[in-house]
Amino acid sequence: MSKNTRLIYSTDGSHNNICKKCGELKCVCTQIVNINPSETLLKIRLEKNGRGGKLVTVVFELPNNPNYFKKLTKKLKATCGSGGTFKDNTIEIQGDHKDKLKKALEKLGFKAVLAGG
């Protein structure tokens, strides 16, 4: 199957091996990526929707490396003195800490940008 085609129907069962997220036969969305902070751009935004009116600072569009980002989440929570979590490949820190997070991430060598309004 070429890159520009998509499987529509199959009777041989080959469709059972296709990743539901990326649609590839050999899944690329679950491959662990080595993190080099100087080459990694992280985006930071504030979210309020669906959180009972509470503000949450979200670091999103993270490369796929859950173990690395779980450890980073712990460091960022300590830096901000706030609670938070790593889920769905995003880091969520309770409260408005976008400036603190940007400085902390840049200190660790990441390229960090503020997204949204």
What string of pLDDT tens digits covers the 117 residues of the chain? 555 666 566 666 666 667 766 666 667 666 777 888 889 999 999 998 888 889 999 999 998 888 999 999 999 999 999 999 999 889 999 999 999 999 999 999 999 999 976
Residue type, 66: P
Give kind and range of the element (H or E) at residue 42: strand 41-47
Owning domain of residue 9: 1-31
Residues 27, 44 share a domain: no
Residues 66, 107 share a domain: yes
Residues 87, 41 share a domain: yes
Compute the distance between CA of residue 44 and CA of residue 116 in angstroms, rounded to an integer: 8
Residues 66, 12 share a domain: no
Residues 57, 108 share a domain: yes
pTM of the complete model: 0.74
Total domains in the chain come to: 2
CB-based contacts of 45, cutoff 8 Å, min separation 6: 57, 58, 60, 98, 114, 115, 116
Residues 17, 62 share a domain: no
